[in-house]
Structure 1
Amino acid sequence: MSSRVQVVEQPGLAPAGLDPDAAYAALAARDRRFDGRIWFGVTSTGVYCRPVCPAQTPKAQNVRFFAAPAAAVSAGFRACRRCRPDSAPGSRHWDHRGDLVGRALRLIADGAIDDGGVAGLARTLHVSERHLHRSLVAEVGAGPLQLAVSRRAQTAKLLVEQTDLSLAEIAFASGFSSVRQFNDVMRREFGIAPSGLRRTPSERIPSADPALVLRLRLRPPYDADALGAFLAARTVAGLEEHVPGRRWTHRRVVPLPTRAAVTEVTVHGDHVVVRSGADVRDTAALVRRVRRWLDLDADPATVDAALGLDPALAPLVGAHPGLRVPTTVDPWETVVRAVVGQQVSVAAAGTLLARLVAAHGTEVAGESGLRAFPRPAAIAALDPAAITGMPGSRARTLVALAAAVADGSVALGSPDLDEVEAALLAIPGAGPWTTGYVRLRALADPDAFPASDLGLRHAAGALGLPEAARALGAHVSAWSPWRSYAAQHLWTSLAPAPVKEPS
């Protein structure tokens, strides 16, 4: 490959709402606030980088800005081997957007093109393939197919670097149709043959079992103590286990396309170690679900700076820098948690959920003793009167929701979060609190705020903020698009400080 590349000039604004001069100033200052939001290619070297790249700052006339790594690859650049932009945490910049581009990017990240191709994605979004391609290229700089190919390449690179699988196994597990296609794409994305990406055994994570072991990067700071306390308080017996400590470990069943797998996670500074019994073909889905569950793609500098502007919220942000919003590996499970948890304590809800798992969950291969969460069809088949421990009206709501999810009336995988919320509200017993909580925890909306939540209202009142739901909802509009993080700060302020335990 030539060291110089020919690129099409970027239109108008650089990504992240910056003009090219401001974007260049951000990379010259190595501003971490823009890491994961902009990438830049250097025409004199043919590589693309992150704004925090330690290499010498290139001349402005040699720089081109991009909104996604795939756009840089489409323009002919390969990934820098110093800042490794292909391995950096992602971005939540698109997650609060309900427009075509935002919805398309979420579906592509979830593997929609692997399942139904570009035509299937366009049908899901109710647009033509041409319009979808034009919209993505105009805003992101790459079409849907290039975005999907880059996703496969990143999954393959993770497996090449961190496992002992053969290159042929990795090629097919990552979704490539042939080894030749795999080799061609990897050379185009990274400027090197796949074998050149393989690390020495000493650089890989040691594993005493045949589990898939991966490192997933995050952006520090990361409040692991608060996350561990959240997970420990909500551990459902039979479904998951929490081992406390300074470096806690959380183990649970994760539903995946091929089969459910027991997966454990541990936070280590700037990365999370994941050990899973997943089928290697499910690597991309596993990575996506764990990253979303533990909110590994958050940009704490941007979120904390935005929320810290409110004098009432600033002390909470200062006490918990890098606080994340834990979501879910299974939206359906979280819908059930929301219904079961209506007007009861966290501990009482955990007891009811454990009963459901024990009675209707399915066994998982291995000797973990854990069971997979009951699927919607299993709950829909129940007689509400047979669900003990909760009021009859709530049991009926649970069964009705299960039936709606099972028959597709409520499509939890839809990229249109407003559409999902409207479908949930049509179920008797699923009110604004339930749907707001589902948006925040199940659908990973970074801008959700269930203002009617009693805990949020009490925490707001303690800070001198409005305590009435309507007035509180109006006040927090200033915290958009990060209202979910504000809610997590308020909830965390009500919890006792986690005990610092030895590792």
Structure 2
Amino acid sequence: MPQHTATAPTGTPTSPAIWRDTERCYRVVAARDSRFDGQFIMAVRTTGIYCRPSCPALTPKAKNVSFYPTSAAAQANGYRACRRCLPDAVPGSPDWNVRADLAARAMRLISDGTVEREGVPGLARRLGYSERQLGRVLTAELGAGPLALARAHRAHSARLLIEMSELPLTDVAFAAGFSSVRQFNETIREVFATTPSQLRAASLRRGRKDIDGPSGATLLSLRLPFRPPFDADGVLRFLADRAVPGVEHIVTGEDGITGYGRTLRLAHGSGTVRLSPRADHVHCELRLTDLRDLSSAVSRVRRLLDLDADPAAVTRVLGTDPALAPLVAAVPGMRVPGAVDGNELVLRAMLGQQVSVAAARTAASELTDALGEPVPGEGTPLTRLFPTPARIAAEGADILRGPARRIAAITSVAAALAEGTLDVHVGRDPAELREELLACPGIGPWTADYVLMRVLGAPDVLLGGDLALRRGAAALGIDAASLADRARTWQPWCSYAGMYLWRANS
């Protein structure tokens, strides 16, 4: 990827960063408004502690507080995490999905564990910037450089492993990405004002639950928070309609779909996840063959369900449209389903071009049955990983059915993904990735935009050429010819408007 020469990030946020508006932030803190948890951090100078906005402790005086965009920025200024409100155990900032600038793209990659796997040079290379440019932009935008942001990420991963597994603390240190046990101990003391052994003892007193999975894997039970409301039924139905047997599994009950599971291809091994929405969180059972993949797996699952979205912001815009308003009121908390693997999503999107959802699912199932790798473990419906691009490039032509030109396009793109000439990950610039996708044979605007919407979590993509979406618009009285003009009033939430239009067609 070519290096950019500009020193400023590409793209701009859709609105000013809330943490810079100190008066508004203090009003939020005084109201203990949980909708803003994860969107900024409050640090109290008199105690040296940083908290989430809804912390139940006594509200400090305005003159004694400072606000930061991230926990890493608070830590870099000498503050430690509040043990009462656990400010890292909240939904992430929706800015990282809404924004397409360098800082937001870097945060998505950091949360996926890129720094732990590839270091800061690898992070800079993926973003197309020099290390110096990257550090300058992140420090200016987020109050901390890439190393400090990664350190905060490691601390959060370590806390999860300390509290949710029986892994020896020495092993926790390296699984969380620390280079030494000493660095691990010092970071935990600085961030949480306690030792790793004290954190584990406290979790045991609270009745921590964890069990061993098959083949030596570890099964962790986690609570994934979200900002209510959350249309769990909608996102689960979307995933169910496209579920590939073996790779994905749908759990149904008397009230309809109650859960979803799938296999995961991660940096250090395979895994599986089972998700069950609850009233105020999503229950997540995560089985990993290598615990170094914990933070990356959690990050990917959160993107899959769009758990960091700000539904209130979406409602404020879409709820003013007279055609959408009744549906927005009837189905609050709409989410845009994401993806756990960019390569897989690109290839499955190509399989879905100009065919029905059912036909695309059948094609993906045939590929998986023939070329997918088995996942260890018996007695589970999650048995296979979706095939790698390299395997599809080499053998896909023998499995795929349909026009030769279509098969050649799919195997050609698979080869580009395998070779790295087409690189699809959450840190890509949307405009650059779209251009690269459109340059590939067999990829049109619908597929390119669908990839941006699901892989990057781009919030402002409207698949205007989609037949089902246009039918949904017609059902709501929106003329297809005026759809593009109407979409301008939905910005920056066109992706969510599209989900409502799809819902209107169902």
Shared fold (TM-score, shorter chain, > 0.5): yes
Q: Report deviation, 1:260.
A: 1.7
In 2, Cα distance between equivalents of 1:298 and 1:29 = 21
Q: In structure 2, what residue type is equivalent to 1:200?
A: L
Q: Is the CA contact (8 Å cut-off) linking 2:110 and 2:150 kept in structure 1?
A: yes
CA 458–483 in structure 1, closer or farther in 2 if over 3 Å, else same: same
User: In 1, are the aligned partners of 2:259 and 2:276 still within 8 Å (CA)?
Assistant: yes
Q: CA deviation at 1:415?
A: 2.1
Superposed, 1:32-51 pairs within 5 Å as 32-51=34-53
What does 1:409-488 align with in structure 2 at a 5 Å threshold?
A: 409-413=421-425, 414-468=427-481, 471-488=482-499
Question: Residues of 1 paired with 2:261 and 2:121: CA distance?
Answer: 38
User: Take 1:406 and 1:119, find their aligned partners in 2: how far apart are those partners?
Assistant: 22
Q: Which residue of 1 aligns with 2:407?
A: 395
**Cα RMSD over matched residues?**
2.1
Give structure 1 stretches of 5+ with no counterpart: 1-12, 496-503
CA contact (8 A) 1:261 1:276 kept: yes
Residue 54 of structure 2 is matched in structure 1 by 52
Structure 1 residue 49: Cα displacement:
1.4
Equivalent of residue 111 in structure 1, options 109, 113, 117: 113
CA contact (8 A) 1:409 1:423 kept: no
- Aligned counterpart in structure 1 of residue 309 of structure 2, from 272, 292, 298: 298
Q: In 1, distance between residues paired with 2:400 and 2:295?
A: 38
Structure 1 residue 276 corresponds to structure 2 residue 286: yes
Q: Bigger shift: 198-207 or 447-456?
A: 198-207
Note if contact 2:273-2:286 (Cα within 8 Å) is conserved in structure 1: yes
Report the Cα distance in structure 1 between the residues aligned to 2:228 and 2:396, rounded to whole angstroms: 48
CA distance 1:202–1:16, change in 2 (3 Å): closer
Question: In the TM superposition, what whole-angstrom CA distance separates every residue of 1:175-196 from its partner, at most 9, and x where no partner exists?
Answer: 1112211111011111111222
Say if 2:265 is the partner of 1:261: no
Q: Which residue of 1 aligns with 2:242?
A: 234
Output aligned runs, 1:14-93, within 5 Å.
15-16=17-18, 18-93=20-95
Query: Separation in 2 of the partners of 1:128 and 1:262?
Result: 36
Show the counterpart of 1:499.
none
Deviations 1:89-124 (A, max 9, x none): 102212232322222222222222222322332333
The answer for the alignment partner of 1:3 in structure 2 is none
Distance in 2 separating the partners of 1:212 and 1:33: 27
Preserved CA contact (<8 Å) 2:20 2:67: no
> Normalization by structure 2: what TM-score?
0.90
Q: CA deviation at 1:74?
A: 0.9
Q: Give the Cα–Cα distance (whole angstroms) in 2 for the partners of residues 121 and 224 of structure 1.
A: 33
Q: Deviations over 1:249-277 (max 9, x none)?
A: 32221111111223222222222222233
Higher mean C-alpha displacement, 261-270 vs 63-72: 261-270
Please tell me whether residue 381 in structure 1 is matched to residue 385 in structure 2: no
Identity %: 48
Q: Which residue type is aligned with residue 298 of structure 1? A: A
Q: Which residue number in structure 1 is paired with residue 419 of structure 2?
A: 407
Equivalences for residues 57-206 of structure 1 within 5 A: 57-198=59-200, 199-200=203-204, 203-205=207-209
Whether 1:344 and 2:352 are equivalent positions in the alignment is: no
Between the aligned partners of 1:48 and 1:243, the Cα distance in structure 2 is 40
Distance of aligned partners of 1:153 and 1:21 in 2 relative to their CA distance in 1, 3 Å threshold: same
Runs of 5+ consecutive residues of structure 2 not aligned to the other structure: 1-14
For 1:373 and 1:312, the matched residues in 2 are separated by: 39
**Aligned residue-pair number:** 480
Alpha-carbon shift at residue 201 of structure 1 (Å): 5.9
What are the Cα deviations for residues 36-84 of structure 1, in whole angstroms up to 9, with x where unaligned?
A: 2121111112111122222222111111011111111111111122221
DSSP-derived class of the 2:500 partner = helix
1:17-46 Cα offsets, whole Å, 9 max, x none, are 753222222222233443221211111121
Paired AA for residue 88 in structure 1:
V
Structural mapping, 1:308-387, within 5 Å: 308-367=319-378, 368=380, 370-382=383-395, 384=397, 386-387=398-399
Query: Alpha carbons of 1:50 and 1:276: their partners in 2 closer, same or farther (altered >3 Å)?
Result: closer
Q: Give the partner amino acid of 2:315.
A: D
When residues 154 and 231 of structure 1 are mapped into structure 2, their CA distance, relative to the original with a 3 A threshold, is: same
**What is the CA–CA distance in structure 2 between the aligned matches of 1:419 and 1:81, rounded to whole Å?**
42
CA distance in 1, matches of 2:38, 2:94: 9
Q: How far apart are the structure 1 equivalents of 2:235 and 2:121?
A: 39
Matched to 2:384, the amino acid is: R
Cα distance in 2 for partners of 1:488, 1:442 equals 16
Amino acid at match of 1:28: A
* Shift, 1:357, TM fit: 0.4
The Cα offsets for residues 397-434 of structure 1, whole Å up to 9 and x where unpaired, read as: 21121111112221102521221111110112211111
Letter in 2 for 1:401: V
The alpha-carbon distance between structure 1 residues 80 and 122, as it changes in their structure 2 partners (threshold 3 A), is same
Match of 1:9 in 2: none
Deviation at 1:205, TM superposition (A): 3.1
* 8 Å Cα contact 1:14-1:65 kept in structure 2: no
Q: Which runs of 4+ in 1 moved over 6 A?
A: none
Contact residue 473 and residue 504 of structure 2 kept, 8 A: no
Whether 1:492 and 2:503 are equivalent positions in the alignment is yes
Q: For 1:65 and 1:464, how far apart are their aligned partners in 2? A: 45
3-state SS in 2 of match to 1:255: strand
